[in-house]
Structure 1
Amino acid sequence: MYAQGSMADGEEEDKEQVSVEKKSIAEVLSSAAPADSLWTSEASGSVRLRIEESCPEEPVTVHQMFKASVDKYGSMYALASKKNDKWEKVTFLEYYQLCRKAAKSFLKLGLERFHGVAILGFNSAEWFFSAIGAIIAGGIMTGIYATNSPEACYYVASDSKANIIVVENQKQLDKILQIRDRLPDLKAIVQYSEPLQQKLPNLYSWQEFMELSLDVSEKEVDDIISSQRANQCCALIYTSGTTGKPKGVMLSHDNITWTANHASRVGDMQPADTKQESLVSYLPLSHIAAQIYDLWTGIMWGELVYFAQPDALKGSLITTLKEVQPSSHMGVPRVWEKMMEKIKEGISQCGYVRKKMVTWAMSVSLETNKTCAQKNDEKPFLFALANSFILEKLRAELGFSCCQKFFSGAAPIGTETMQFFLGLNIRLYEAYGMSESTGPHFMSGPKAYKLPSCGKVVPGCRYKLADIDSAGTGEICFWGRNVFMGFLNMEDKTREALDEDGWLRSGDLGKIDEEGFLYITGRIKELIITAGGENIPPVPIEEAVKKELPIVSNAMLIGDKKKFLSMLLTLKCCSSEESMESKEELSVEAVEYCQQLRSQATTVSDIIGGKDKEVYQAIQEGINRVNNAATSNAQCIQKWIILRRDFSVSGGELGPTMKLRRPVILEMYHDEIQNLYID
């Protein structure tokens, strides 16, 4: 059974905003490389573009998009990097010229057509130059997560047949030096930050690398650019491998340029000739969310991108935000949660009167924002008072004095977090999609906002729900110009992801309301099927537990093929600024929670093993409340355990976008789980 939907409200308005030369679809497709199929698993392959009457825009390559922006915004600043306590900026024209130089240098080093240029390091102007330079030179750019182990780096570099690997510093270089002898396609390594500690064959500093461009003619680059087609691969995004081996998601020029153009419209991002947007780049560019938001949309609309410091997620991000005062900001749920914790900590340290005023102002803002569905709806006088005298100061503490648009993506965000920020008069616009859909397929925005949905389908895209159950829930399937080309070197996995008609199966379960808003209810692969045969989506239960128990950081439901459900819990703890690993000490919020229970606990050890009866009783009572709201006895949590440390990326329990790596956690905590099921 299928339920189908097409475009979000405002489609006609969006179509009017796009100037499209009237051509038949056949004429539009004539400039593409020959292709019969909607998918391929070969790096050099091409695909049939999904051009329809609803999205007839002529496909363009990354270079064509960039060149059009240079023509419009050439003299405006594009990138800003902080060096020696001073922001150094380059214009769009300089940005383009530096990318061409990088392209020529890659060609000098022997970059072959449709071979990889892998980039390993924190966000920087050099990261951007390398990515675009690789594409201009006819290669395929791919990011490698900076947290990857040498073996994980080897997998990506080998799979993408990387000719060149660009690394940030000695730490990242050391990883590649451990594996380079096993990479027959590797011809050179380039380091873009810090001086080289030793001179090795085929290792170049950034300056040495850029100087190689002098030996390559402009014509050589132009000939390659002229041969590129919008339906060919130019970028690889590797999945984080939470459920198996990472897959190389092949994105075409059209995937990237079409998505950069259309998805940003829902978020009301403005072109620079109207009002230049500014943002801080800090999320991993190996992930599609940051890449579309920072890199590709930045070029499309002429945005000014500031690069955060490498320790952004260890504490310096807010300092940069205060300095830059961006007009828009995107975070993954964990980033928003960390900001929420910081604000709560600040509020807890206020005096009695100040604390009361802040609590009052936030409650007024929350109620007003819940009542006023549209951002421009008329607000009551009390709200204006609370916002002007109290909330503006709180937003300024986060660096958001000038920020108008706030986005959350890469993973589902909790209702508690969304409501907390509504209390600050900050609407978090959620984006939902996958690497395989070039990022957002559904988006919230000023004209499409409804809690707790993740918005409406992006104009020009389509969706359907497959295998709908009695509650109206089904698997969300995607169709549009943003749907990927296929998985590199994985024909079988590509066929699994796309049905016979070319619809992309998301693996996510959801439902659509009468207004077209999407609500995610779970993930098929995460479904727990108990020994009694009941299908249980874990995420809603996990979120309910975290909402009931502010001391809980992570909750993971267990029970596949088991007689009953149990749960692993971690507590909110402080983390090391260097490694980001969880410490033994409880967070300020967790300590406050304990104090309210008349517990003196300040560390995890003070609580676990049943030593702190007050906390254990409070947790059990919270779980009882969740159980009371369960739809059946099979969905009740029978047993639970508190683990000794919180989950983290460095610990292996979380992926780079902070999603639970469930198979890994099941293996890591096998003994603890077994003990829960001993009769």
Structure 2
Amino acid sequence: MTAYSSVGARFLAQCEQSASAEAFRAPTVDGGWQSLTWSDTASRSRELAAGLIALGITAESRVAIASSTRLEWVLADLAIALAGGATTTVYPSTNADYVAYILTDCGATVVFAENEDQLDKLRTADGFVGSVRYVVMFDGERGDDGVLTLEQLTDIGRSHTSANPAAVEVALAALTTDHLATIVYTSGTTGRPKGVELTHGNWLYLGAAIASEGVIRPDHLQFLWLPLSHVFGKLLLAAQYEIGFVTAIDGRIDRIVDNLAITQPSFMAAAPRIFEKIYSRVVTTAESGGGAQRALFGWAFDIGVDAVRSRSAGQPISRWRTAQLAVADRLVFARIRARLGGNIEYLVSGSAALSPQIAEWFAAAGLPILEGYGLTETTGASFVNRPDDIRIGTVGRAFPGTEVKIADDGEILLRGPGIMRGYHGLPTQTAEVIDAGGWFATGDIGTLDSDGFLNITDRKKDLVKTSGGKYIAPTAIESAIKAACPLVSHAIVIADGRNFASVLLTLDPDAAAGHPVTDVVQRAIDQVNTRLNRWETIKQFRILPRELSIESGELTPSLKIKRAVVARNHADLIESIYTAKGSRR
């Protein structure tokens, strides 16, 4: 196997190997889709890279991207890699104060901005924030000094290449696997985000580890909508450069299901919330379709889930049950798969805990979900279930080369080539999570079975203790409630320092329409309570007047709940639970 010194070098090698094959597919303004071959992608990103070099970008120079997921994001990121710089990711939803903090902290000198809204966040009275000297716009015209369009940067690159034909090769030759490739700022469920430094070696390891599994093939087509500002989205690009499959890319969340039908991908990765929404929409549609449809749907999934559980337990499926499954597949499951494109071999879940009930439902429909686990600090993925070896309720086994052990207090510790270089400019905080032996403390609690499958119990900091001294892991309870009640979009368990557990709920407005919500929710909670310890059972619930949002600060851009913000925003409502006359104790 050829050893590569940088992501850019690995990308160019794939471009040479697969030159005329399709690499990317993206929507056009007229509603169609355009394709780029590997050769086209190399040409466009090389020109942009030469432009960056002409603007002064050298090894490890920080270049930020503030944009939603789109083809131009990928081209900008590749250009930064080919110029030897280090991509700093900025969520497009990040407010101006945090943008200024991130760009100043990392020392970015060039920023790719999606549009005028992102540009406005970069402006100051006398120029741009921090050390930013140039802003390159994906959409929009050239404005003040220092503001360029993507086309103008391309023209600068062409001129620079004419005078310096080997500019990109020289930049790449200066890189080693230890050089900085990316700074990803953690979402920060509490406090200011920290910049996680990931090297070329980190990304090359992850791409090669994914390729070694043989799960993703060169003939596969991925649909990619995930935020590329998040490590989960970006790791899929590293895998693509290693393997050579095709990626159809469109970051518009409201277009996911429609785009699946159009692009007909082999696989898609998503956060659990996306799978929960698909589940909720399908279930509520079936239930509203009348008695016969509802009965058929329920019958199909009863036998489908039963078969999934039997296979997981190593039990044979009878001929009669096999015949029933064939009927269920033809009448119910095949229609669901067709709505999602008809070609999906598997789905991939990460970034948060996936409810086992949701996983079983998708598996019954012939859409197995490969749940995985990783952190920004571990280049996004350390464990994953394989298609031929799925254990629902676990996050699978470690990638080759990643070591794992469980500390005395249950914390998961990891070591290997995927561990970050450190937190940018924070040596003390780096030393707090990476010990002298190279073991990274994840902050997650879990168990490892004899076959190496990892089960995540909860975030160490999310474990709560009731006033009676009993510990509760909220995540598992919250996932169970969402699985039991498709109307629920978010669930937040409240129990820390309280004498009983309660839950705040938000509803999916489309799914909840026309339902007797309170009764449906209560039945679901009663069902979940039967599987909990006495001190874990939910005694009361409250439905919030609106959904949680990134704009309110209650969700991170990767859709994780900021518990402290939710508790602060709804403090009066929470207090009413525990002070109201007749509260159950």
What is the CA-CA distance between 1:433 and the residue it aligns to?
Answer: 0.6
The DSSP-based 3-state class of the residue aligned with 2:381 is strand
**Equivalent residue number for residue 196 of structure 2:** 249
The DSSP-based 3-state class of the residue aligned with 1:341 is helix
**Equivalent residue number for residue 674 of structure 1:** 575
CA distance change for structure 1 residues 363 and 218 in 2, over 3 Å: closer, same or farther? farther
**Equivalent residue number for residue 13 of structure 2:** 68
**Equivalent residue number for residue 359 of structure 1:** 298
Letter in 1 for 2:499: F
Distance 1:319 1:374 in 2: 36
**Equivalent residue number for residue 478 of structure 1:** 414
CA distance change for structure 1 residues 143 and 264 in 2, over 3 Å: closer, same or farther? same
Distance 2:484 2:259 in 1: 34
The answer for unaligned runs of 5 or more in structure 2 is 581-585
**Equivalent residue number for residue 274 of structure 2:** 335
Distance 2:302 2:292 in 1: 15
What is the CA-CA distance between 1:179 and the residue it aligns to?
Answer: 8.2
**Equivalent residue number for residue 345 of structure 1:** 284
What is the CA-CA distance between 1:512 and the residue it aligns to?
Answer: 1.5
CA distance change for structure 1 residues 627 and 441 in 2, over 3 Å: closer, same or farther? same
Q: Deviation digits for residues 492-521 of structure 1, max 9, x if unmatched?
A: 211111122110111001111222211111
**Equivalent residue number for residue 166 of structure 2:** 219
1:90 to 2:13 alignment: no
Alignment match of 2:401 (pick from 457, 460, 466): 460
The DSSP-based 3-state class of the residue aligned with 1:279 is strand
The answer to whether the Cα contact below 8 Å between 1:555 and 1:567 also exists between their aligned partners in 2 is no
The answer to whether the Cα contact below 8 Å between 1:163 and 1:187 also exists between their aligned partners in 2 is yes
Distance 1:672 1:467 in 2: 38
The answer to whether the Cα contact below 8 Å between 2:486 and 2:511 also exists between their aligned partners in 1 is no
Letter in 1 for 2:421: M
Counterparts in 2 of 1:179-578, with a 5 A limit? Answer: 181=127, 183-193=129-139, 195-196=140-141, 199-216=143-160, 217-266=164-213, 268-270=215-217, 272=218, 276-293=219-236, 295-308=237-250, 310=251, 312-314=252-254, 316-373=255-312, 380-399=322-341, 401-468=342-409, 474-560=410-496, 562-574=497-509
Q: Deviation digits for residues 42-73 of structure 1, max 9, x if unmatched?
A: xxxxxxxxxxxxxxxx4631122112212321
What is the CA-CA distance between 1:259 and the residue it aligns to?
Answer: 0.2
Letter in 2 for 1:291: K
**Equivalent residue number for residue 79 of structure 1:** 24
CA distance change for structure 1 residues 179 and 445 in 2, over 3 Å: closer, same or farther? farther
CA distance change for structure 1 residues 629 and 186 in 2, over 3 Å: closer, same or farther? same
CA distance change for structure 1 residues 356 and 549 in 2, over 3 Å: closer, same or farther? closer
CA distance change for structure 1 residues 221 and 588 in 2, over 3 Å: closer, same or farther? closer
CA distance change for structure 1 residues 179 and 114 in 2, over 3 Å: closer, same or farther? farther
Q: Deviation digits for residues 409-462 of structure 1, max 9, x if unmatched?
A: 111111232122123121110010101111111100123311111111112211
Alignment match of 2:547 (pick from 637, 646, 649): 646
What is the CA-CA distance between 1:223 and the residue it aligns to?
Answer: 1.7
Letter in 1 for 2:176: R
Q: Deviation digits for residues 319-363 of structure 1, max 9, x if unmatched?
A: 211111111111111111111122123323434434333333333
Letter in 2 for 1:253: H
The answer to whether the Cα contact below 8 Å between 2:503 and 2:538 also exists between their aligned partners in 1 is no
CA distance change for structure 1 residues 255 and 106 in 2, over 3 Å: closer, same or farther? same
The DSSP-based 3-state class of the residue aligned with 2:420 is coil
The answer to whether the Cα contact below 8 Å between 2:181 and 2:200 also exists between their aligned partners in 1 is yes
The answer to whether the Cα contact below 8 Å between 2:5 and 2:175 also exists between their aligned partners in 1 is no
1:156 to 2:102 alignment: yes
Distance 1:327 1:549 in 2: 29
Identity level (%): 26
Letter in 2 for 1:521: T
Distance 2:125 2:422 in 1: 27
The answer to whether the Cα contact below 8 Å between 1:557 and 1:565 also exists between their aligned partners in 2 is no
What is the CA-CA distance between 1:624 and the residue it aligns to?
Answer: 5.2
Distance 1:292 1:73 in 2: 20
Letter in 1 for 2:235: I
What is the CA-CA distance between 1:123 and the residue it aligns to?
Answer: 1.8
Question: When the two structures are superposed, what TM-score results if normalisation uses the length of structure 1?
Answer: 0.79
CA distance change for structure 1 residues 328 and 180 in 2, over 3 Å: closer, same or farther? farther
Question: When the two structures are superposed, what TM-score results if normalisation uses the length of structure 2?
Answer: 0.91
Distance 1:532 1:96 in 2: 62
Distance 2:460 2:330 in 1: 45
Counterparts in 2 of 1:594-613, with a 5 A limit? Answer: 594=516
**Equivalent residue number for residue 583 of structure 2:** none
What is the CA-CA distance between 1:99 and the residue it aligns to?
Answer: 1.5
The DSSP-based 3-state class of the residue aligned with 1:104 is helix
The DSSP-based 3-state class of the residue aligned with 1:78 is strand
The answer to whether the Cα contact below 8 Å between 1:263 and 1:440 also exists between their aligned partners in 2 is no
Q: Deviation digits for residues 537-578 of structure 1, max 9, x if unmatched?
A: 222233344444444332222233x2423434223132xxxx
What is the CA-CA distance between 1:663 and the residue it aligns to?
Answer: 1.7
The answer to whether the Cα contact below 8 Å between 2:66 and 2:113 also exists between their aligned partners in 1 is yes
Q: Deviation digits for residues 341-387 of structure 1, max 9, x if unmatched?
A: 22123323434434333333333322222222499x98823323322
- Structure with the bigger RCO (C-alpha within 8 Å, sep 6+) is 1
What is the CA-CA distance between 1:238 and the residue it aligns to?
Answer: 1.2
Distance 1:458 1:145 in 2: 28
Distance 1:479 1:463 in 2: 7
The answer to whether the Cα contact below 8 Å between 1:374 and 1:447 also exists between their aligned partners in 2 is no
Letter in 2 for 1:385: V
Distance 2:369 2:247 in 1: 20
The answer to whether the Cα contact below 8 Å between 1:277 and 1:303 also exists between their aligned partners in 2 is yes
The answer to whether the Cα contact below 8 Å between 1:180 and 1:186 also exists between their aligned partners in 2 is no
What is the CA-CA distance between 1:80 and the residue it aligns to?
Answer: 1.5
Q: Deviation digits for residues 177-206 of structure 1, max 9, x if unmatched?
A: 35884624111111112x32x621111111
The DSSP-based 3-state class of the residue aligned with 1:201 is coil
Distance 1:277 1:515 in 2: 29
Letter in 2 for 1:333: P
CA distance change for structure 1 residues 225 and 621 in 2, over 3 Å: closer, same or farther? closer
Alignment match of 1:109 (pick from 55, 66, 70): 55
Counterparts in 2 of 1:11-160, with a 5 A limit? Answer: 19=1, 58=3, 60-83=5-28, 84-160=30-106
Distance 2:153 2:396 in 1: 44
The answer to whether the Cα contact below 8 Å between 1:112 and 1:139 also exists between their aligned partners in 2 is yes
The DSSP-based 3-state class of the residue aligned with 1:372 is helix
The DSSP-based 3-state class of the residue aligned with 2:491 is strand
What is the CA-CA distance between 1:208 and the residue it aligns to?
Answer: 1.0
Counterparts in 2 of 1:604-623, with a 5 A limit? Answer: 615=518, 619=521, 623=525
